[in-house]
Amino acid sequence: MKKIAIYGKGGIGKSTTTSNLSAALAMLGKKVVQIGCDPKADSTINLLHGKQIVPVMDYYREHEEAPGFDEIGAPGFGGVFCIETGGPNPGLGCAGRGIIATFDLIEEMEVFQRIQPDVVLFDVLGDVVCGGFAAPIREGYASDVYIVTSGEKMALYAANNIFKAVENFRDRGYAHVSGIILNRRNVEDEYENVQAFAEPNGLEIIADIPRSGDIIHYENQGMTVVEGAPDLPVSQKYFELARKIIGESC
């Protein structure tokens, strides 16, 4: 079982990337779990055809007892098991606490043992890599980290902070950054800008996802572009990424 954390600046497209990656892996015959680690709880919405599941933290607020297996998540496209951690009410409490509580629940309920996934994907907000948001790295849940970035200055600034945070845990045998996913915004010298960050840090740009209106078109229909049109060039980019991540040749 491969456990992978996808980090990136808020709004950079990491949930779109993660969901399309999950869909591609499922279509390649892999059993996948996707865990959205963001208080917005919208990581898995396009795998669930526009429906939002009840986040774990919302369930805890509404019920005295812990959720059962059927309440912790739901199967989406391709059988991807979708979980959302959620977070506190706005302005109240620590947003990262939802991640920690969900991870504790997953262990207690032996979710991975029950589902037996080939790949677990953690979709993690990367603007602030501290507290609960660092749990996939710090607690050893993920073995590999991939950073989603564009060539924009603030996206690369966040990517550098994420890289440094992961490196701080490297000596403890925790996750390491395995590559950069370029999610294009069509800024000037975009590839060169990302390469200038990646190369000095010994990182490879493992995917170059073009900016595509097809992604938005299918998201407006409540699905990933991989599900809606798997033969499109942009969908094939996600399939290529999926094969690279699991170590299969194209």
Instruction: Pick the catalytic residue from 40, 42, 118, 208.
Output: 40
Query: Both tokens of residue 109?
Result: 């309920």
40 flagged as catalytic: yes
31 flagged as catalytic: no
Instruction: Pick the catalytic residue from 42, 127, 144, 208.
Output: 127
Q: Do strands 81-84 and 74-75 pair parallel, antiparallel, or not at all (unpaired)? A: antiparallel
Q: Where are the beta strands (DSSP E) in the chain?
A: 2-8, 32-37, 74-75, 81-84, 119-125, 144-149, 176-183, 205-209
153 flagged as catalytic: no
- Closest to 126 measured CA to CA, from 103, 102, 95, 100: 95
Sequence-ordered list of residues with C-beta below 8 angstroms from that of 199, at least 6 positions apart, any chain: none
51 flagged as catalytic: no
Q: Do 91 and 83 touch, CB atoms closer than 8 A? A: no
Instruction: Pick the catalytic residue from 3, 14, 30, 237.
Output: 14
Instruction: Pick the catalytic residue from 9, 30, 58, 123.
Output: 9
Measured CA to CA, the distance from residue 82 to residue 123 in angstroms comes to 11
> Could you list the active site residues?
9, 14, 40, 127
